[in-house]
């Protein structure tokens, strides 16, 4: 899919808002608040102490929690104003660098057999849920679907793109054209892109 800024603003952003309003993120918020899956969390900052600093780490469901060169963690940020990479702006660059360092420090603290330069960080677009979360993986992890081109976007690349954007600190990823893949069973495809495709076909001469 090619998602232009106009398409994002008119169709995708309202879809995201509807997902959040329908309670689709309650399970994520329960984890962040320590109400659910507390035993799965391997590191966290004190909840509520500083929402912009707060985060937690937990293993990805597909990692066996043993093989370090296949390490795959999720970093959930406590703040709730960032739904996806689309919400990131130039003003967030210092925060992104700071959170990157906190994730790397926490991961190497929990797993002292891993060095910082053996880790890479990325986000998905489209993500599976609309609360900003960072994937932290070992560089030796075989690139499967979760790291596929057109889905995984490197955090360093996002930071560089934001830094070089024209405009003031409010310029950001909502103004970029993004390309990604969607399965036909995806809710976003079914609810947004398939109806748009049908509409375009009906309007074609």
Is cis: bond before 126, omega within 30 of 0?
yes
What pLDDT sits at residue 144? Answer: 62
Please check whether residue 188 is in contact with residue 126, taking contact to mean a CB–CB distance below 8 angstroms. Answer: yes
Per-residue pLDDT tens digits for 133-185: 999 999 998 766 565 556 899 999 999 999 999 889 999 999 999 999 888 88
The mean of the pLDDT values for the chain is: 92
Structure confidence at residue 138 (pLDDT): 96
Question: Is 9 part of a structural domain of the chain?
Answer: no
Residue 201 has what pLDDT? 65
Residue 4 lies in a domain: no
pLDDT tens digits along 113-124: 999 999 999 999
203: pLDDT strictly greater than 70: no
* Residue 117 belongs to a domain: yes
Is the residue at 98 inside a domain? Answer: yes
pLDDT digits (tens, 9 = 90+) for 87-111: 999 999 999 999 999 999 999 999 9
User: Does any domain span residue 17?
Assistant: no
Instruction: Indicate the number of domains in the chain.
Output: 1
pLDDT at 126 exceeding the cut of 80: yes
Query: Residue 138 and residue 124: Cα distance in Å, rounded?
Result: 16
pLDDT digits (tens, 9 = 90+) for 15-46: 999 999 999 999 999 999 999 999 999 999 99
Specify the pLDDT at position 149. 52
Helix, strand, coil percentages in the chain from 3-state DSSP, rounded to 5: 45, 15, 40
Segment (H or E) for 123: strand 119-124
Domain of residue 39 covers: 25-169
In a domain, 151, yes or no: yes
Does 73 have pLDDT greater than 80?
yes
The reply to whether 150 falls in a domain is: yes
| pLDDT score at 145 | 53
Return the active site residues. 133
- Residue 74 has a pLDDT of 97
In angstroms, the CA 60 to CA 115 distance is: 19
**Per-residue pLDDT at 81:** 96
Instruction: With respect to residue 66, please indicate whether it lies within any of the assigned structural domains.
Output: yes
Residues 6+ apart with CB under 8 A from 165: 90, 171, 172, 175
Q: What is the mean pLDDT of residues 3-13?
A: 96
Cross-strand pairs, 44? 56
CATH classification of the domain holding 70: 3.30.428.10
pTM of the model: 0.92
């Amino acid at each position: 899919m090619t998602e232009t800024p106009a398409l994002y603003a008119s169709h995708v952003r309202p879809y995201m808002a509807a997902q959040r309003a329908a309670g689709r993120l309650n399970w994520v918020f329960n984890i962040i608040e320590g109400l659910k899956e507390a035993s799965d969390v391997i590191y966290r900052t004190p909840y509520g102490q500083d929402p912009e600093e707060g985060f937690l780490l937990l293993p990805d469901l597909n990692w066996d929690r043993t093989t370090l060169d296949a390490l795959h963690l999720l970093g959930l940020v406590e703040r709730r104003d960032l739904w996806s990479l689309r919400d990131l702006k130039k003003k967030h660059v210092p925060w992104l660098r700071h959170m990157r360092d906190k994730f790397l420090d926490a991961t190497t603290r929990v797993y002292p057999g891993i060095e910082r330069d053996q880790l890479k960080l990325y986000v998905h677009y489209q993500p599976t849920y609309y609360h900003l979360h960072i994937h932290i993986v070992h560089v030796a992890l075989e690139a499967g679907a979760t790291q596929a081109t057109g889905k995984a976007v490197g955090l360093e690349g996002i930071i560089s793109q934001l830094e070089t954007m024209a405009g003031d600190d409010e310029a950001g990823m909502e103004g970029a054209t993004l390309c990604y893949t969607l399965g036909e069973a995806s809710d976003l495809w079914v609810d947004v892109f398939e109806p748009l495709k049908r509409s375009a076909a009906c309007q074609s001469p």
